[in-house]
Structure 1
Amino acid sequence: MKPIGLYIDFPFCLARCSFCAFNIQGYREGFAGRYAEALQKEIAVYAEMPVWQEREITSIYLGGGTPSLYAPGVLTGLVALCRTRLPMAADVEVTLEAHPATIHAENLSPLREGGINRLSMGVQSFSDTHLEALGRHHTAEGARAAFFAARAAGFTHIGIDLIYALPDQTFSGWEATLQAAIDLAPEHLSLYALSIEEGTLFDKKARAGLLSLPSEGDAVAQYQAAQARLAAAGYRQYEISNFARPGEECRHNLLYWDRGEVLGIGLSAHSYLDQEHRANTDSLPAYLEMIASARLPVDRVEKVSPEALRKDRIIFGLRKTEGVPLELLEEDVSLRQTADRLISEGLLVIDHRQIRLTSKGLLLADEVALAFI
């Protein structure tokens, strides 16, 4: 059976964070309830399609937004619907993105009992000063309490997301946040450099000269310190931003980096199926109206040529520390010439018939990706 991932998007949040440029909505019970019903209908429509021949879902990812704002019964009901209507691997990974302010003993136990077996906690920082600047609605102690509650509820697969290179963040401050995360012993850690996105609160502050950001050199120092400290703590870096205990790599994310097939459900969700990229509408009213009319909410479809797919597999696959098979480049002279140039510049290396980023290449991964486009 061919593995496929299922992504279900929940666009509602407590409030927009200072760094966020995603298509999110403020949480309103009426809209949120109608939206959950629409998700059920979209899943039911896909369940009747021939797309499932020779395919099996190996991962479900409930993302957003803040899906953990919903009552456990809504989330586990969707998971149960998927299990009932769609072909599912026996060991399917079911991840819930969780805001620390929204999870506690009362909802974590029913979530775990209802089939959600992995949490991705958006902690972002263990500094209350930085959490306030980021616009988060939790404290460092609140994040710890949420983590311990998840453990008590039986979650044995927990990931923590952190952001580095924050405004006014010192090297020692980043080390303190990193150590606080390590002390909790999660199975997985994702570390992202702050990106100033157009239209965000941070963008407006930066334009007004009100944001003091670390230098590029400081950001690199924070990243390299994290690599060393996490390796010493037993975490293996398996992708540019992701570190895990052995066997705890995120199966769903690996599908994206390997350019495997993923079906996206919900507002703004993207799919890759049958050599096509498909994107759902970005408009919540349009999404609800299309689902109510028994129409799929897809508004963009792009056929992917074999050449484009090969480039995608190289660009996304090189994000993994293991790289990609050398054969991918040997099929195209121009791609191999590009790789040879990047090897000469010290950004790529060939290792046991795999081509991968060097330590220097990990720092310049965007430039490597652009070279292959």
Structure 2
Amino acid sequence: MDLAFTPEEQQFREDIRAWVAQALPKEISDKVHNAQRLTREDMQAWAKILGKKGWLGYGWPSQFGGPGWNAVQKHLFEEELAMAGAPRIVPFGPVMVAPVIMAFGNKAQQERFLPGIASGEVWWSQGYSEPGSGSDLASVRTKAERQGDKYIVNGQKTWTTLGQYGEWMFNLVRTSSEGKPQTGISFLLIDMKSPGVSVRPIKLLDGECEVNDVFFDNVEVPVENLIGEENKGWTYAKHLLSHERTNIADVNRAKRELERLKRIAQAEGVYEDQRFRDQIALLEIDVVALEMLVLRVLSAEKSGKNSLDIAGLLKIKGSEIQQRYTELMMLAAGPYSLPFIFEAMEAGWQGDQSATGVLQGFPGGVVGNASLAPNYFNFRKTTIYGGSNEVQRNIVAQTVLG
């Protein structure tokens, strides 16, 4: 197992770094470095920049218009974007549904849907969780009844991340109640502008409406929007979930936020506290260990070996690390971990009440700690979504440990 990057891979990293430095708008990277609110326009502007370069679908094979990068190149690309302060690529289109369409969709579906995903023009949402059906997706109840050349869909999805911006939605729907629950699920693409689709934002503890309820009331969906075979959606869902859980681990963002934690601790005068610095050191050890695990998987893939099915393990450790760094940031800033007050942020003053006013070390300087408490609250979700960590531990025990 070789965890060192080759000279060619190092050059690839340098090329990516140079392009991102030139292409990434500074006003967007400043927001990311300070964990400030990103608007839909911010996220989609960056997606379109990547799309124009042909890199929004950076994990796609060349036959579908992607760059055809190997696993190591994809990792280096993700790392350079994260460290530069690029917004996280909204995964629902390019990272999640696109591989399903490539693997199980027909040629007409690939030609219809993939170009809009690759360009960043079309915003996709995910329709998996329902009230009472989260980690146990086999119990979904949203029903799709076939009537001639269309399905009639009725039901509800919940916790739909950024669903208020969605234009298309991929859904698990129940098309049969016979046999095992998993055998009656289908994978359906739904135009969110269709009559009968309604979205209700859910306001969270951090004050944002990041997630939503989505309701379907006699929504007509053409049969041609069914991916693969009817009642085979569970197979396609498992294919997608492996991408989601690996994406949640996000070791590259953890590395960036670890450096931010150190800067906040130094600015707030707690970095010299040995006990607090011990907590930072323990977190850094776990981040490095997670990175080594990711690199082991990449090394196996690069050498053509079958890597362990450890998407669940990556999700467990990555999500726990995210919770720890948000908690330590809030503890470092103490009473200056202010909630988001959008009007104050837009006026440019919130964050100036930290001990030092402005933290040094970010590109161009940044405001203080206004977003720390909201981020702490928001990241309580990470050990639940994508399949709760308790369920993931059972899966790891069965598939990895035997």
TM-score range, shorter chain: under 0.3
Higher strand share: 1
Higher helix share: 2
TM-score scaled to structure 2, two decimals? Answer: 0.23
TM-score scaled to structure 1, two decimals? Answer: 0.24
